């Protein structure tokens, strides 16, 4: 049974086995968490992402899927990249957001990771309402078999939403 914790801070500063990146399907970087992880983690991460694109992930990473690379200069052993769903007013994509968390946990577990840090996936550029995302994320990690699942929230509103779930 994993310990679930909530931290207000920067995910690139976390010292855990796996840092989860809220990526996009190109796996070639972006803004938000994606930008921060590539900036702090250094070029090795992008090089590893390019290799994935040249190989098994030629078409990019699908929404809800997760894949691991080196963590470069971050204080982690791996970065697990996952693509969150973009918020939709008309279509319920909750299952895809849950899948991001479950698949990230599976990839991390298969690597032997014991601790993982998640950002609030999809709640930035992808506009998912943070309270809804908090509920989905918390439920999705309920049966995590790691020792530690840490949600790293970048602003007070997200921290309040996640800690009130």
Report the residue from 79, 108, 119, 149 that binds ligand APR according to the rule CB under 6 A: 119
Q: Does 10 bind ligand APR (CB under 6 A)?
A: yes
Q: Which is nearer to ligand APR, 69 or 122 (CB)?
A: 122
The reply to whether 160 belongs to the active site is no
Report the residue from 11, 48, 105, 113 that binds ligand APR according to the rule CB under 6 A: 11
Give me the least distance between CB of 130 and ligand APR, in Å please.
7
How far apart (Å, rounded) are the C-alpha atoms in residues 91 and 99? Answer: 16
Q: Which is nearer to ligand APR, 2 or 22 (CB)?
A: 22
Catalytic member of 10, 17, 34, 89: 34
Q: Which stretch binds ligand APR (CB under 6 A): 60-68, 70-78, 88-96, 152-160?
A: 152-160
Contacting ligand APR within 28-67 (CB under 6 A): 30-36
Report the residue from 16, 20, 22, 97 that binds ligand APR according to the rule CB under 6 A: 22
The 78-83 sheet, strands edge to edge: 3-8, 148-153, 115-118, 18-23, 78-83, 66-70
Q: Does 72 bind ligand APR (CB under 6 A)?
A: no
Q: Torsion-angle region of residue 5: left (phi > 0), alpha (psi -120 to 50) or beta? A: beta
Q: Does 113 bind ligand APR (CB under 6 A)?
A: no
The residues carrying an active-site annotation are 34
State the residues that interact with ligand APR by CB under 6 A: 10-12, 22-24, 30-36, 84, 119-126, 152, 154-155, 158
């Amino acid at each position: 049974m994993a310990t679930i914790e909530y931290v207000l801070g920067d995910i690139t500063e976390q010292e855990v086995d796996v840092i989860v990146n809220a990526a996009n399907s190109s796996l070639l970087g972006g803004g938000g968490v994606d930008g921060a992880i590539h900036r702090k983690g250094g070029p090795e991460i992008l090089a590893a992402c390019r290799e994935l694109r040249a190989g098994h992930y030629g078409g990019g990473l699908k929404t809800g899927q997760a894949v691991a690379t080196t963590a470069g200069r971050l204080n982690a052993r791996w970065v697990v990249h996952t693509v969150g769903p973009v918020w939709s007013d008309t279509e319920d994509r909750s299952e895809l957001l849950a899948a991001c968390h479950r698949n990230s946990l599976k990839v991390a577990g298969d690597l032997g990771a014991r601790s993982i840090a998640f950002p609030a996936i999809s709640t930035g550029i992808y506009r998912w309402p943070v309270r809804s995302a908090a509920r989905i994320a918390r439920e999705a990690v309920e049966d995590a078999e790691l020792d530690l699942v840490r949600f790293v929230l970048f602003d007070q509103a997200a921290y309040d939403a996640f800690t009130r779930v």
